[in-house]
């Protein structure tokens, strides 16, 4: 496979001791930072800087690299992804840890080459009857992923393995910068800023967005370049850096600093795998076949279909985070600061204060985590997340990464429960990006992808959605001549809670399902006309859930295949690594911690439930 960049081949060498009195495991093979050499017969499988694999043949307009056409992605977004401000939550009581951990793992296994290639902007029509937002540029910026080969292929710049690369990096330079002896650099218990070693320009590069743009000195540095993206993600990155240092402090002084570092690195990687396979996946309804050990014939390389379509679960993401702190925590100056940022202050009956932080504020603002505190931010993820369906919150669907325009007297009116379009001058639509990225990467159509994953193709639009009709209703509130352009088709006409009881329209907290004035099948038919033309991402999120899971058939199949490959094709998977048991025997250190236990060990917050992925109580 073509290598994209010179990859780090530094092994996590095992445990040289400075004294014969310090019991150490015998030397054992271990991971390289970039994932190379995991498979001895196929050393590039899963390696950083290699092509994504493909499950299906690429789908390009010219068979080589040209994007296929189709309805404008924003046009589709306005008619399919628009939730009109109505919250609909997980029917399985999954907390916001579902999307937050999902993003944390995403940043461990996949990162496309983000160097902008040719521009392929998404058309924006201000006169669209279903458009509520303004966009001064007249288009939504979109740049294609750089591609190589014929047909065009894309590069995964990090290792495909679940190996804690988001904590440590995939290059020796980043790994070295983050280290401070045996420990990770963690001043005051928080991730280091880019100026922590004096020279900002010498710090490992990080993605800068929002208020960080042009201010690299204010960015935190971590193993993955995206660690500043939002406050929840930054808090999880911080948690595992603290966990590394906690493990180091438990090790005997007779060990070298390097030995301590490598032991902690190995354990942290296993902890992340353990939580992923024992909590995250089962709680979301992903049940893998029984593990029979490492299989060197299994290629763990991340599939393009998984990275570009299947692992995009943006519908789960809540539009706000709500950390709660005890009475007396904040001064009047603190509260004034928060209000000026667009954060709403809620005073609770017990005297505690809840900060309602819109995602638009939490993006690209790592200093906010330190100001609020690690424990309260992690605790805020215990609320129920949104349903993994076709609806995407406007904080992601319209104003992603944006702050309110200047001159807004009270920025707090710009956020939830309904994002105020008058606060923003441009549109950034993550759902539209998901569609466009699929076309950019040559993703198969929805039906082609179903077949590739062993599922029968849908014969009709109702086959996709599980609804009874693909016709618009004869409703006096809907324009019968052109119903797809009538905003009333999106109205919710009934909501139900998780016991099947009716919920009032507009209820912000209790709905897990809803019926709209038009069926999703009717809208898909009006948009695409032919079931074989549906974009893979759109069809996937339009499917009803398999009972007891957060997924429709196609998304469940994609997750199952990829996570099984990441498990079975990893020579250092935690259930196949004897060194982990030796570490436990010699030093009393185990990787078998639930996420709740790690939070309690490393913060001042005690989760109210043993399984943080499920709503407490």
Write down the pLDDT at residue 423. 87
Residue 202, domain extent:
50-445+535-602
Provide the 8-state DSSP code for 307. I
2 pLDDT tier (thresholds 50, 70, 90): very low
- The reply to whether 287 falls in a domain is yes
- The reply to whether 21 falls in a domain is no
Cis peptide bond N-terminal to 309, omega within 30: no
- The reply to whether 456 falls in a domain is no
Domain count for the chain, please give it: 1
Phi, psi (5° rounding) for residue 492? -80, 130
Does 222 have pLDDT greater than 80?
Answer: yes
- The reply to whether 301 falls in a domain is yes
Residue 560, CA distances (Å) to 79, 221, 376, 390, 437 in order: 30, 32, 33, 20, 22
- The reply to whether 522 falls in a domain is no
Tens of pLDDT along 5-62? 333 334 444 443 333 345 665 567 899 999 999 999 999 999 999 999 999 999 999 9
Provide the 8-state DSSP code for 397. H
CATH number at residue 63: 1.10.640.10
Write down the pLDDT at residue 480. 96
Write down the pLDDT at residue 44. 98
Q: How far apart are the first and last CA of the chain?
A: 50
- The reply to whether 286 falls in a domain is yes
Phi, psi (5° rounding) for residue 150? -140, 105
- The reply to whether 414 falls in a domain is yes
pTM over 0.85, yes/no: yes
- The reply to whether 452 falls in a domain is no
Q: What is the dihedral of CA 73, 74, 75, 77, to 10 degrees?
A: 90
Write down the pLDDT at residue 416. 65
Write down the pLDDT at residue 25. 56
Write down the pLDDT at residue 3. 35
Tens of pLDDT along 311-337? 999 999 988 999 999 999 999 999 999
């Amino acid at each position: 496979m073509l290598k994209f960049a010179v990859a780090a081949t530094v092994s996590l060498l095992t445990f040289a001791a400075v004294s014969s009195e310090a019991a150490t495991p015998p030397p054992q093979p271990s991971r390289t930072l970039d994932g190379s050499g995991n498979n001895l017969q196929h050393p590039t499988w899963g390696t950083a800087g290699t092509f994504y694999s493909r499950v299906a043949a690429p789908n390009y307009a010219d068979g080589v690299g040209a994007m296929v056409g189709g309805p404008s992605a924003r046009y589709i977004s306005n008619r399919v992804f628009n939730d009109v401000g109505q919250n609909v939550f997980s029917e399985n009581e999954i907390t916001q840890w579902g999307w937050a951990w999902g993003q944390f793992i995403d940043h461990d296994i996949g990162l496309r080459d983000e160097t902008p290639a040719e521009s392929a902007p998404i058309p924006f029509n201000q006169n669209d009857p279903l458009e509520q937002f303004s966009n001064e540029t007249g288009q939504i910026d979109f740049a294609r992923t750089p591609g190589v080969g014929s047909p065009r292929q894309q590069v995964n710049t990090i290792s495909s393995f679940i190996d804690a690369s988001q904590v440590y990096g995939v290059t020796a330079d980043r790994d070295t910068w983050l280290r401070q002896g045996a420990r990770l650099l963690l001043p005051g218990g928080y991730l280091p800023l880019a100026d922590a070693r004096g020279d900002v320009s010498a710090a490992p590069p990080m993605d800068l967005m929002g208020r960080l743009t042009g201010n690299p000195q204010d960015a935190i540095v971590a193993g993955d370049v995206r660690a500043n993206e939002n406050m929840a993600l930054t808090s999880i990155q911080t948690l595992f850096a603290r966990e590394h240092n906690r493990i180091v402090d438990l090790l005997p002084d007779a060990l070298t600093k390097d030995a301590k570092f490598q032991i902690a690195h190995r354990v942290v990687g296993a902890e992340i795998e353990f939580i992923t396979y024992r909590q995250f996946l089962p709680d979301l309804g992903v049940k893998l076949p029984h593990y029979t050990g490492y299989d060197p014939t299994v290629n763990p390389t991340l599939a393009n279909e998984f990275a570009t379509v299947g692992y995009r679960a943006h519908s789960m993401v809540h539009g706000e985070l709500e950390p709660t702190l005890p009475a007396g925590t904040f001064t009047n100056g603190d509260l004034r600061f928060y209000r000026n940022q667009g954060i709403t202050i809620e005073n609770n009956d017990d005297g505690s204060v809840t900060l309602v932080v819109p995602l638009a504020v939490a993006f690209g603002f790592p200093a906010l985590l330190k100001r609020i505190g690690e424990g309260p931010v992690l605790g805020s993820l215990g609320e129920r997340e949104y349903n993994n369906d076709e609806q995407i919150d406007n904080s992601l669907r319209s104003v992603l990464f944006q702050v309110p325009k200047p001159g807004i007297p009270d920025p707090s009116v710009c956020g939830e429960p309904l994002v105020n379009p008058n606060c923003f001058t441009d549109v950034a639509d993550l759902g539209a990006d998901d569609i466009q990225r699929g076309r950019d990467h040559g993703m198969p159509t929805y039906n082609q992808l179903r077949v590739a994953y062993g599922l029968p193709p849908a014969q009709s639009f109702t086959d996709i959605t599980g609804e009874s009709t693909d016709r618009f209703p004869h409703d006096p509130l809907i324009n019968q001549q052109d119903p797809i352009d009538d905003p009333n088709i999106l109205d919710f006409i009934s909501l139900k809670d998780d016991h099947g009881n009716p919920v009032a329209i507009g209820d912000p907290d209790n709905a897990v399902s809803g019926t709209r004035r038009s069926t999703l099948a009717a809208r898909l038919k009006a948009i695409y006309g032919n079931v074989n033309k549906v974009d893979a991402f759109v069809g996937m999120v339009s499917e009803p859930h398999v009972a007891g899971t957060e997924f429709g058939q196609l998304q469940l199949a994609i997750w199952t295949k990829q996570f099984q490959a990441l498990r079975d094709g990893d020579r250092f998977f935690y259930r196949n690594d004897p060194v982990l048991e030796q570490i436990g025997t010699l030093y009393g250190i185990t990787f078998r911690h639930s996420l709740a236990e790690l939070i309690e060990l490393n913060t001042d917050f005690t989760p109210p439930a043993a399984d943080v992925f499920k709503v407490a109580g």
